[in-house]
Structures are given as structure tokens and as C-alpha cells.
Amino acid sequence: MADPKNRIEELTGLLEYHNHKYYVDDAPEISDFEFDALLRELEQLEAEHPELKLPNSPTERVGGEAVSSFPEVRHDVPMQSLQKAFTREEIYDFDRRVKEVIPNPEYVVEHKIDGLSVSIEYVNGELVRGSTRGDGEVGENVTENIKTIRSVPLRLKEPIPFLEVRGEVFMSEDRFLKLNAQLEETEQPLFANPRNAAAGSLRQLDPKIAAKRGLDIFVFNIQQIQGAEITNHIDGLRYLKKQGFKTILNDTVFKTIEDAYKEIERIGSERGELGFGIDGAVVKVNDFASRAVLGSTAKFPRWAIAYKYPAEKQTTVLRDIKIQVGRTGVLTPLAILDTVHIAGSNVSRATLHNIDYIRQKDIRIGDTVVIEKAGDIIPAVVEVLTEDRSGDEVEFNRPERCPECAAEVVREDGEAAYRCTGITCPAQRLRNIIHFVSRDAMDIDGLGASNVEKLAENGLIKDAADLYFLNYDKAVELPGFGKKWAENLKASLERSKTNPLYRLIFGLGIRHIGEKAAKVLAARYKTIDALIAADAEEMAELNDFGMIMAQSVTEFFRQPTNLEFMDRLRFAGVDCVDDSKDIEDKRFDGKVFVLTGTLEKYKRSEAGKIIESFGGKTSSSVSKNTDYVLAGAEAGSKLTKAQSLGVTVISEAEFEEMIR
């Protein structure tokens, strides 16, 4: 058997090498599977021999423990912002000011990445701290999140005494679109653009979340260095690249501002094809001694300037307005346009945001419109040229019913979005089926997201009710399925037919109705038929209910497609009823608990069920209405908030005394 210490060092070197080849050089030499196998071996060895784990091990990239807040970091070298230019003349004025001090300056021109500026520090070649720019003087310590960025070296190739670099953390356009799709799937707020997504991800208190976001970085400046002599910017970037950093290295030095401006124009012409966002180009004096002579103002260095590209706009004709139904049922209008070239790509579609936006802008089919592709990935209609109207333009009327399934379309008070209410809507079917079979809903084994997708793609199911009529002979022919899987699935579906009623109610995915609300409804109405016939005003009077939730339930059961779905469940033999008994011991009646940290004897879900069995309630957030916070090991921000509000904090031992 190999010596653990030697093997850990060998695996660390291998993983660092292959990580750099994949994320910096974009030239992978092994498969993802092989890389993961090496990483798993290292994780196992470190678990068995924690004393041998190296500082900044590659396993750190998966994310450490969550924190309650980020400590402040005061920057030794201020992270200044840049003076901005919007015209050619302003760039030439910058050159004139430089030449008043430096007779024959040389310039470099770089992409201005649209992201979040950070500082990263190394001591003896090891990453020791990463921080945000903040106000330029004071930022936030985000070291654990910086370590999750695969293109950041955890160790330098040469262990010099000290190095501080500045870079821009960003999110690629592909990663941004995937992230928003995932957020939409779970009904979370979407990010407006990649820059917001990068900033929000880097400032996650839980590094494990940041690790999943796929952040990237370009390093563009040496802030401080000990152990190497660098005299100009180009040599600095070459040195950083040798040390393992990802840079946009342009070896060209421009001796005239005319040539530098041509490079600004060249970069601008390619910005739609880069795969990541830029909002300008930066002109810098190359020589460090010249920079020192030029100095800085209180806000800006005098040796650099940022040229900001205008948002690219084009004029075209809007030929139609189509309605797209998202995976959460939201109806989004989409402009169908005469194709036009903008920001490096041909565009024939543009977002119209929502139906109110169409009304506010008075956008009509046949209008000549202005589209813009700025910070957002998807082009948007920003203006209507009403003076170009011929009189043949057609006003757009929002659909009363979903274009995918004909279910009623509703908009709740305070929301901009219109939503489809159909559980069998094709646009939402995968999300609805996955929710229906999930552990907290009908708890059907063998139907993870990928299996549901396979069954749907092969036409074996269209909605969750189809699962009870599944053609197993055809299903087992699909890759990854087999007779054993079919037997287990059949048994699980059979068990689900007599689930507690609240599981079925929750599994229907009725808007605003979570697991707790489903339990309240089940306890009150006992059968699904009684719930279908329930009155909204009566329902609104239930504990922890209100009219919005009640109307959501009654509207759901008013839709013919949803009632047909329920009929098919009945025909399949699904007969879920509420068999819960009235609570006799109500010692926690009216009391609200918040659970935080790790408990020794119980899972938090188990402790929550005990609390509910005594008539109490659990909540996910601490407020002045909280009665108790049950705090286990490594309790975080919820414990801090409880202490600041004066809420009673109890230990697991005290909780056991209360339930004895």
C-alpha cells in the first residue's frame, strides 16, 4: 500500500494540474469521471488521515462551512475605481494629460470584465485571503468562496514570499442561463444579468452554494509583490500566467493613442461573441515607473481610463407577440422580429418582460421598435417608434387561457406575472410530476428527475396520473430501467394510494400551499372530495390561512383539467384520507419553535414532528413572534438573531425535559 502522505501529495499535484488544464488552459487531458475519482480518493485519505491534509487542498473547492456574516478587510493598497470615458475625444484627452507628464507613453488595452472586483493574497505561495473591493478601502473577507472558483490557483507555481493580485469574478453567459433555469424550477427569484449573478454568488454565506454556481475569474493586476521584480504591466500579466492565473493576455503595446483606440473598437466589435460580459475596455500606461510619476487622485489612478461601450441598439419590425409558458406556469410575452444583427449575433426574438410592459409602452403587432442588448443576455424591446405607424398595427390582447393547456390564467394581487393554473399543462409537466412523486409529497421511490424525464420524453407519461397506468413492458426497455426497478416502482405506487391526505394535497403543487398548509387542510376536510367542495371564505378562517391561500385552492379545483386529473387518480384507486387523531396533549399549543444547528438525538424534521404532535408550530425564521429557538451544535445566524430579540433559546436537553 502506498504511503498515505506521499499519495496525498501525489493526488494534490495531479488534481492541481488537471484543474488548471481544464479551467485555465481549456485543454482537459482526462474525463470528468477520472477527475472525480481522483478527488474522491483524496477526500477519503484526508478523512482517514486529517493530520496529513495539506493547506489549500483541492478538496477545499467544494465549499466549507457556512458563516453568519463576512468579516471586514482593510485593503493595504486601495482598490480604486477608474475614470470613465464615453467618446473618442475623452480618450484623446486622457492621452494629452498623460503626455504632459510622460513624453512618450506606451499603452496596453484590456477587456473591462463585467463582474465583481476582488483581491487575492498569497503568503509563501499559499492562498491566505480573498476579499471583495467594497468601497475601495474596506471590503469583505470571502476567502472560502474564492477557493471554490476553479480557475483560482490555491498554490502558486513559485512560492514567493508575498503576492496580492486583483481580478474580476464573473459568470459566463452559459452558466448564467443554466442558473436562472434552476432558480425558475424552484420558484426562486431570477438574476437580471450575469454580473448580478456573480456578485450574489460570491457573497453567499454558504460556500457550498457558491461552489455550485460555476464562477470564473480573470486576474488583471499585481497589487503588491515580494520576491520578484516586475517593471511593466505586460510582463506582470506574463508572470501571473506562469504562476497559474487566468488572464486575458494581450502582448501588444501601443505607442500611440490612435492605435490604442483602434484596439478599443476591435474589442467592441467582438463583445457579443466572447461568452462572457464586458462593459468596456481599459487603457493603461504600461510602465510601472511612469504610473508612479502620474500618481492618483482621491478616487482614480491618473494612468488608466475605462472606455464604456454604449448599449447596442437596432431598429426592426415586430411581426408577432407569442406567449411562452415557463416551468413555473408564468406567461411571458416574446416579440417575434424581423431578423437584425446586434452585439455580434442575429436576433429575431426579444423579451417584452410582462403583459403590463406591453401596455405601458403601447407596443403593437406591426410596430417599428428599438431593441437593445446591454447587460442582459436576452435582447429587449425598449422603445416604439410611434411616428412610423401606418394605422394597420394591431393591439395585443392577453390570453384568458393558457396557450399550452387551455387552463385559466390568473394574476394574484401584487404580482406582475400571469400564471397558468393547470396541473397537466405540458409546459410545466416535468416540474409537476417531479414534485408529485417527491419524498415530502407522494413519496414514490425510483422516480428521480432523470427517470421522470426519460419516461416523459419517450411518451410513456404526460402527467403524474399516468404513472398509475404505466406500461411497464415498454418502460423496462429504456436504458437504465429493468424488471427490478419496475417491481419496486409498482409496489411504491400501490403504497402511495393510501398515503395520508396531506401528502396528496401537497403533491398537487397548488400555489401557496406548502406541507404545513396541506396538513391544516387535511385535518379540516378529511377527504379530497370535501376539499374540492370547500368554500373559500370558510377556508380563509382556518389557522395560519388567509384569503389568498384559500382562493388559490378553490381556483385550482375550479379548473376542468385539474378536476379531470383528480378523476383519473380516483379511477386508479388513489384514496388518500386524513386519519390523524385529534391532539390530546396540547402542551405546545400556540407556541412557535425555530430549530437551528445540529441536534444529537433527532433530525430537525423529527423534532419538528414532535413539536407539532403537542400542538406547537415550527417556523424557518426567527421573529418577535417566536417563542423558542431550539439550538444544536454550530447554530448560526438564527441563534444570533434570537439572542438580539430576547427570544428564549433552549438546548436539546431542555427540549427533552419539555417533551418528557
**What CATH number does residue 108 fall under?**
3.30.470.30
pLDDT tens digits for range 480-507: 888 899 999 999 999 999 999 999 999 9
State CA 237 to chain mean position distance.
31
Residues 359 and 436 grouped into a single domain: no
**What CATH number does residue 616 fall under?**
3.40.50.10190
Burial class (CB in 10 A: 0-12, 13-18, 19+), 446: middle
Tell me if 334 sits within 8 A of 320, measured CB to CB.
Answer: no
* 405 is a domain residue: no
Residues 516 and 630 grouped into a single domain: no
Residue 622 has, within 13 A of its CA and on its CB side, a CA count of: 21
Residues 38 and 165 grouped into a single domain: no
Name residues of the chain where pLDDT drops below 70.
1-2, 22-27, 32-33, 62-68, 186-187, 327, 343-345, 374-377, 414, 580-583
Q: Say what the pLDDT of residue 32 is.
A: 65
Residues 131 and 229 grouped into a single domain: yes
* 69 is a domain residue: no
Write out the three cell numbers for 506.
Answer: 401537497
Pick from 308, 340, 371: which residue ends a domain? 308
Number of domains in the chain: 5
How are strands ordered across the β-sheet holding 162-170? 126-132, 116-123, 162-170, 216-226
Pick from 308, 331, 360: which residue ends a domain? 308
Cell 475623452 belongs to: 90
Residues 368 and 316 grouped into a single domain: yes
Residues 520 and 631 grouped into a single domain: no
Q: What's the CA gap between 319 and 338, in Å, rounded?
A: 7
3-state SS of 82-139 is CCEECCHHHHHHHHHHHHCCCCCCCEEEEEEECCEEEEEEEECCEEEEEEECCCCCEE
Residues 152 and 228 grouped into a single domain: yes
Tell me if 148 sits within 8 A of 197, measured CB to CB.
Answer: no
Q: What's the CA gap between 506 and 501, in Å, rounded?
A: 9
Q: Say what the pLDDT of residue 344 is.
A: 62
How are strands ordered across the β-sheet holding 278-285? 84-85, 304-308, 278-285, 107-113
Q: Look over the chain and give the mean of its residue pLDDT values, rounded to a whole number.
A: 88
**What CATH number does residue 38 fall under?**
1.10.287.610
* 11 is a domain residue: yes
Residues 303 and 321 grouped into a single domain: no
Predicted TM-score of the model (pTM):
0.60
**Bridge partners of 318?**
337
Q: Say what the pLDDT of residue 374 is.
A: 59
Q: What's the CA gap between 138 and 617, in Å, rounded?
A: 42
Nearest Cα neighbor of 354 from 327, 330, 336, 383 is 330
Nearest Cα neighbor of 324 from 352, 366, 358, 361 is 352
* 111 is a domain residue: yes
State CA 69 to chain mean position distance.
20
Q: What are phi and psi of 552, to 5 degrees?
A: -60, -40
**What CATH number does residue 471 fall under?**
1.10.150.20
* 105 is a domain residue: yes
State whether residue 450 is helix, strand or coil.
helix
Active-site residue set: 112
Residues 469 and 549 grouped into a single domain: yes
* 411 is a domain residue: no
* 401 is a domain residue: no
Residue 50, domain extent: 4-61
Residues 383 and 457 grouped into a single domain: no
Q: Say what the pLDDT of residue 602 is.
A: 83
**What CATH number does residue 319 fall under?**
2.40.50.140
Pick from 39, 61, 83: which residue ends a domain? 61
Nearest Cα neighbor of 74 from 118, 139, 167, 142 is 139
- 630-to-423, 558, 594, 633, 657 alpha-carbon distances in Å: 38, 41, 6, 10, 13
Burial readout 573-610 (b: 16 or more C-beta within 10 A, e: otherwise): ebebbbeeeeeeeeebeebbbbbbbebeebeeeebbeb
pLDDT tens digits for range 569-622: 999 999 988 876 666 778 888 888 999 888 888 888 788 888 988 888 888 778
Tell me if 198 sits within 8 A of 118, measured CB to CB.
Answer: no
Burial class (CB in 10 A: 0-12, 13-18, 19+), 557: middle
**DSSP conformational letter for 25:** S
Residues 529 and 438 grouped into a single domain: yes
Residues 542 and 446 grouped into a single domain: yes
* 649 is a domain residue: yes
Q: What's the CA gap between 142 and 129, in Å, rounded?
A: 8
